[in-house]
Amino acid sequence: MKFQRYKTHSFVRKILEGGTMLHYGAKTIPDNGYFAIPRLTSDGLMLCGDSAGMLNPQRLKGIHLAIKSGLMAAETIYECLKNNDFSAEALKSYQTRFDNSWAREELYKTRNFHAGFKGGLLPGLAHGMFQMMTGGKGLFERRVNKHDHEYMCKLDEYGRHTGKLPEKETIKPDNKYTFDKLTDVYKSGTQHEEEQPSHLVITDTDICNNQCTEEYGNPCRHFCPAQVYEMVDDPDREGKLKLQLTPSNCVHCKTCDIADPYQVIRWVVPQGGEGPNYENM
């Protein structure tokens, strides 16, 4: 919604004038920084690139880190092949390689970038400046950060802060500068077998249909960019709504898995590995 509004600004609108949307995509990125990197190895397992959270949040770049981690993983695998040992102990040399590499140094210098914005834009800009001037340290060694979904306000909390409830979507898509979600899904080229089991597993739909409706207003229907989640009239409860899923629309951004305030949505790999077909993106 915010990006749709951004495109209607006169300056941006002038840039987009005469253009055509060719492709659409949506993807969350692991930009929480160094302190969110998990343990990199286990028995027969090494985590590289995005799966290990190796992304520079200050620059929103991670391809070079993915390549470097892949090279270090390959060196480790070569050693393991020679020794025919893929245990967690043998794979620990991958962690050592990372700890001694420029990749770790770069990620450590940007470890507090997002945490610096915890108090808002202006404090964040100040923290970012000091981090760059001090080689990454900034004004604090580490600031405790919460999970993304824990920052979501309940409706009554939002109202106390702003004096009003969240605004409803007010921009009507014109399919020239702004587009409806189903058009976006079509442009993503996503495909799923219609009758396969849902790859979006909801552990407790009662929370969605009752508790979330009252406390958060079902934010999944807003943060999902592909209209996978909709609240429709419940035929069994007059005047009430129930959650309706359309998993075949999913563009695999995984926002729901991350942002759901109750953490009852779990994204799993769909049957057959289908999904969006991102070209030239």
Confidence of residue 109 (pLDDT cuts 50, 70, 90): confident
pLDDT of residue 264: 94
Residue 233 β-bridge partners:
241
Query: Which of 51-60, 150-159, 163-172, 191-200 is least confident?
Result: 163-172
Dihedral angle of Cα 252, 3, 36, 229, to the nearest 10 degrees = -40
Does the predicted TM-score (pTM) go above 0.85?
no
The answer to whether 223 touches 259, Cβ cutoff 8 Å, is yes
pLDDT of residue 173: 84
**Which domains occur in the chain, in start order?**
1-22+146-281 (3.30.70.20), 34-145 (3.50.50.60)
Q: Kindly tell me if the per-residue pLDDT of 158 is higher than 80.
A: no
Average pLDDT over residues 250-258: 92
Structure tokens at 256: 């729901």
Using CB atoms within 10 A of its CB, is residue 249 exposed (0-12), middle (13-18) or buried (19+)? buried
Tens of pLDDT, residue by residue over 12-70, are 999 998 888 888 888 888 888 888 899 999 888 899 999 999 999 888 899 999 999 99
The rounded percent of the chain whose pLDDT value lies above 70 is 95
pLDDT-derived band at 208 (thresholds 50, 70, 90) equals very high
Residue 236 vs residue 273, higher pLDDT: 236
* CB-CB contact of 96 with 75 (8 Å): no
Range in 137-146, 155-164, 172-181, 213-222 the model is least confident about? 155-164
pLDDT at 169 over 60: no
Q: Is the pLDDT of residue 220 over 80?
A: yes
**Whole-number pLDDT of residue 162:** 57
pLDDT at 164 over 70: no
The more confidently predicted of residues 107 and 162 is 107
In the chain, the percentage of residues whose pLDDT exceeds 90 is 40
Alpha-carbon dihedral sign for residues 175, 179, 183, 187: positive
- Using 50, 70 and 90 to split pLDDT, how confident is the model at 166? low
Average pLDDT score, the chain: 87
Q: Which residues of 195-223 are buried (b: 16+ CB within 10 A; e: fewer)?
A: eeebbbebeeeebbbeebbebbbbbbeee
